Amino acid sequence: MTGSLKSKRLAIRAGRVGRSKRKNRSKAGNAFIFICLCVVGFFMMLPLVYAIVNAFKPLEEFYVFPPRFYVRRPTMDNFSDLLKLATNMWVPFSRYIFNSVYVSIVATIGHILLASTAAYVLAKHEFPGKNLINYIIVVSLLFTSKVMFVPQYIILSKLHLINTHAALILPVFAMSLGVFLMRQFMSMVPNEILESSRIDGAGELRTCWKIVVPMVKPATITLAIFAFQSIWNSSGGGLIYSEALKVMPMILTQISASGLVRAGVGAAASLIMLIPPIFMFVIFQSQIIETMSTSGIK
């Protein structure tokens, strides 16, 4: 009874403090914060707006200086030219779309499976070397994929996976960001829940996938978006040589890399590649924001 009374008093005090802080906030301060957020949001939207505008610019408006964030005579010729080039290829364009979708889905699912399982072990089990592994995962977040390209190429070459879709899929499996995100969330799951599931006879895999993973759904969705975006934008340059195995980013780069005449086609191709990641982010933005605020990523 004493504990419940203390908790009620603390809750009442916290509510009073929260109300007093809200009262002390002035309208001018709220307006200033709102204006600052609008300005920052405007500058963050400029690259996306510029990409959309360029896709509808005629060729004579591309190299006007200073660059314009608007188009005077919008045209659909860039998209029609892209379609003509795609239909005249030796390999059907639908094959490239299939390759991109296949690689993205397989890499995303595989990364979620491996990252969730590894994060569960690191978050809820004790074993020698656990702290060292956690430290290596955090340090690996400092390196970009370009830094790791040469070691990855050597490893994939020794495994005879060059010029296969596995050369694009396996590096995504090993992304450390997914393990870090899932570990951060799984560490907040109460151990009492895991103990009760073990008492009921559930094994470790069942406890992980039936209890822990559903409790960290926002992190799982965020992880899926990051993995999909990483593989979707990967061109596979230097890893894929066969024309029938190439993915859409590589083909669109080849189409738009034919000089200044193809600048409009390249802008249209870039806009098409932006659509799936933006679509996924708009749908699951609430889960992404919750994941970032909880995991401590700024």
221 inside domain: yes
| Contact between 172 and 178 (Cβ < 8 Å) | no
49 inside domain: no
206 inside domain: yes
Report pLDDT digits (tens) over 17-70.
444 445 556 777 788 888 888 888 888 888 888 888 888 887 777 777 777 777
pLDDT class for 5, splitting at 50, 70, 90?
A: very low
Please state the rounded mean pLDDT for residues 179-188: 85
60 inside domain: no
| Contact between 150 and 212 (Cβ < 8 Å) | no
**Residue-range definition of the domain harbouring residue 213:** 81-295
pLDDT at 2 over 50: no
255 inside domain: yes
CA dihedral of residues 279, 46, 248, 104 (deg, nearest 10): -40
pLDDT at 149 over 50: yes
Please state the rounded mean pLDDT for residues 75-97: 77
Mean pLDDT of the chain: 77
Give percent of the chain above pLDDT 70: 84
Sign for the pseudo-dihedral over CA of 265, 266, 270, 271: negative
The span from the CA of 104 to the CA of 149, in Å, is 19
The span from the CA of 236 to the CA of 164, in Å, is 10
51 inside domain: no
Residues 6+ apart with CB under 8 A from 149: 238
pLDDT class for 162, splitting at 50, 70, 90?
A: confident
**Count of structural domains, the chain:** 1
Q: Is the pTM of this model over 0.75?
A: no
Lowest mean pLDDT among 143-157, 219-233, 274-288: 274-288
Residues 6+ apart with CB under 8 A from 251: 86, 89, 93, 96
Sign for the pseudo-dihedral over CA of 53, 57, 62, 68: negative
> Which comes out higher in pLDDT, residue 255 or 220?
220
| Contact between 164 and 104 (Cβ < 8 Å) | no
DSSP 8-60: HHHHHHHHHHHHHHHHH--HHHHHHHHHHHHHHHHHHHHHHHHHHHHHT--GG
Domain containing residue 171: CATH number: 1.10.3720.10
148 inside domain: yes
pLDDT class for 9, splitting at 50, 70, 90?
A: low
89 inside domain: yes
